[in-house]
Amino acid sequence: MDSVGNLARSLVLRTNQVRLREEMDKLAVEVSTGLVKDPGKHLKGDLSNLLAIDRTLSKLDAFKVNVTEATYIASTMQTTLDEMQVRTQSLSQTLTSAELTPSGELLSTMSEDAESALGQVMGALNRSVAGRTLFAGTATDRAAVLPVEDMMTALTTALAGQTDLAGIETELDLFFGPGGAYETTIYLGSNTGVSPIRLGENESANVDIRATDDTFRELLKPLALAAVASNPLLALDENTQVDLLSKAGRDLLAAQEPLVELRAGIGSLEARIEETKTRNSAERTATSQAKLELVGAEPYETASRYEIIRGQLESLYTITARSQRLSLAEFL
């Protein structure tokens, strides 16, 4: 009989231990998350509102990722265009002074400086964010344009036989125009633009700016005009070099306006992205609060209950241990 009684007592103690441990685990989850562990029981089986809230929170989480991506892309584009503007604006002032000091060495230096700026602009067009090329349309996995060395080779071939400003300008218009070598050979990206990035329920960001944009063509053309001025393969006389460099300086200065307009458009986009970010954040806060009101665990009550259960479990362990020692003594 004693053996049966000990077994029954042991079973009761073990059952209570399991119950208290389960209760503690549930309370621990509620304390850490601030939410009840069993929403279905808490809401008496009506989960429709909770599911709607969770769907909204999931969408807002996705929008948050998109907003971060759009912010980074727009910011990098803005920085890239700023670099282009600073470099070409400074160069335009130098080139317009070519006719004031027409010495062969100075003209050659100006032309080399223009080729360096051309390389910098083309390098900027190949800028990428997290492995995604910015100005190549949907072809985000590769460079947008060829290196400047390939550009110079193509320009030299296109301008072969031209000896004056008018002829060279005509060829450059064809080179950088629709269907020209720049578009078909130098540009490596896609002619398909990237899809707008969805920022919110009714808001998206269009970050499709490609290296074939007219703004870039108008910037590259005067740079190319100045870069080929002292090319030995073209063998242009000094007066023609002066004409090319001076015209390039004026055209480069004129190309600043569309560049500024493009930057202003990106600036407006950045502001809109930031506004959407603020709205999404406010909506997420309100939705999270609604979820807490629906299935939130009262923190003080839950923590107090947790401590009570923990105390009961510790007491039960103590009783169990003493009971086992007494049973052993009776047995001996």
pLDDT tens for 56-85 read 999 999 999 999 999 999 999 999 999 999
- Can you list the positions of beta strands (E) in 88-231? 128-129, 132-133, 197-200, 203-205
CA distance 225 to 118: 10
* CATH 1.20.1330.10 holds for 75-284: yes
pLDDT attached to residue 100: 81
CA distance 280 to 275: 9
pLDDT attached to residue 59: 94
Q: What is the pTM of this model?
A: 0.78
pLDDT attached to residue 311: 64
CA distance 249 to 252: 5
Q: What are phi and psi of 191, to 5 degrees?
A: -85, 0
What radius of gyration do the chain's Cα atoms show?
36
> With contact defined as beta carbons under 8 Å apart, do 232 and 308 qualify?
no
pLDDT attached to residue 330: 47
Number of Cβ within 10 Å of residue 233's Cβ equals: 12
State the 10-residue block means of pLDDT for the chain, 332 residues long. 52 62 61 62 74 90 94 96 96 89 85 96 94 94 96 95 94 96 96 94 93 97 96 92 95 96 96 95 88 64 62 64 54 40
Instruction: Indicate if the alpha-carbon torsion angle 212, 122, 216, 234 is positive or negative.
Output: negative
- Sole residue written with tokens 């218009």: 173
CA distance 19 to 25: 10
Per-domain residue ranges of the chain: 2-54+293-331, 75-284
CA angle 249, 255, 257 (to 5 degrees): 130
Tokens matching residue 247 = 């015209």
Q: What are phi and psi of 199, to 5 degrees?
A: -100, -25
- Sole residue written with tokens 């939410």: 35
